[in-house]
Amino acid sequence: MPVLRFHPWVFSGAVQRIVGQPTDGDIVDVFSSRNQLLGHGHFHHGSIAVRLLSFGPANLMEHSFWVQKLESAWRVRRAVGLPTTSETNCYRLVHGEGDGLSGLIIDVYGATAVMQCHSIGMHRQRELIAGALQAVLGDSLHAVFDKSKEALPPQYAASVQNTYLLGTPASSAEVVENGVLFQVDWAEGQKTGFFLDQRENRKLLAGYASGKTVLNTFCYTGGFSCYALRAGASLVHSVDVSAKAMALTEKNVHLNAPFEGKHAGFTADVLAFFKDTKQTYDVVVVDPPAFAKSLNKRHNAVQGYKRLNEAALAKVAPGGILFTFSCSQVIDRELFYHTIAAAALVVKRPVRVLHHLTQGPDHPVSLFHPEGAYLKGLVLQVE
């Protein structure tokens, strides 16, 4: 039984009997067939019937429970050197199952914590969580913003508004990551406003960018672009289909320096851009959104990744570098590797693997919940 191996999901097919009539989001006790208490969690009518937050006795309605959980997460971030006052003040404080809090994400941008609940049960406890955040982070925390509406089941989300649970309202802030500046808009941006999981990979790219031409596709707010420019790239092109994303990229580029003549943004479909451009680049970044969020979409996603990487590999200059990623949880590391290999066979170019990439250490993965390792990437040298 997965729960006995500390996997936090109780699947509906494993439930023998439900006592009473729990509604979505209720806190429930989970027992084995021998009436042994296994833990407590949030109930939901669906394939994942319970998201366990404790294995054994606990009171999920107590302030102390949440303080203990958040203190544990905070210790992990301090252990990996986050935050640093001058170099990095944005990081993920809670990464769902990786921190024993299935259904909860908390990202910190300077003095604001942005909370995103992915389950009704977690959202119903948002005030308790905000209070515990204040207790753990103290004076360094000025505000808590709840950005859960987009992540919750649609019927429940219809009556939910993104709002401040604590502190003075603000829609955005200027943050620093490895010395690079970014304007983060948590109110209107994707997810919580910024993709913090790529911090280490952006830093790695900077080491390859000096004096090089760089193409950053699916650029969103220009993370890889700004790192490349700060590292001395001779030319950076950023591409995203969203005009709003391109405006944010331009804003972030100018936050770091004028870089006159060294950056150009293109609002375009990435595959169309690859088809239309005659230019090749020393470094190409391919970081698309998830192509599949369920197993029945996996085949189409694999074909999409293959076509995309065929096009990208063709635009890498001889001896150049490709950074390529997938954040689709249903595409595992081995399948992603073989998909990229299939793309390389089509373009008939020798390719070396230089790095295997994943999410940063503030996005930890529970040893008992390998599904949490969603981000995978390869750095390839292309002849």
- Count of all residues that appear for the chain in the document: 383
Here the contacts of 78-82 (C-beta below 8 Å, separation 24 or greater) are 80/361, 80/362, 82/362
Q: Which of 90, 117, 219, 327 is catalytic?
A: 327
Catalytic, 117? Answer no
Contact 229, 253 (CB under 8 A): yes
Contact 274, 312 (CB under 8 A): yes
276: left (phi over 0), alpha (psi -120 to 50) or beta: alpha
Amino acid 162 reads: N
Question: Position of tokens 């750095």?
Answer: 379
Rounded to whole angstroms, the Cα distance separating 36 from 24 reads 24
Structure token pair of residue 90: 């944005």
Question: What is the DSSP code string of 281-322?
Answer: EEEEEE-PPPS-SSGGGHHHHHHHHHHHHHHHHHTEEEEEEE
d(CA 134, CA 141) in angstroms, rounded, equals 7
Nearest to 205 by CA among 247, 236, 245: 236
> Using alpha carbons only, how large is the chain's radius of gyration in Å?
22
CA 334 to CA 324: how far, in whole Å? 14
CB 27 within 8 A of CB 60: yes
Residue where the block lists tokens 């089509």: 346
Q: How many CB atoms lie within 10 A of CB 375?
A: 21
| Catalytic residue IDs | 327
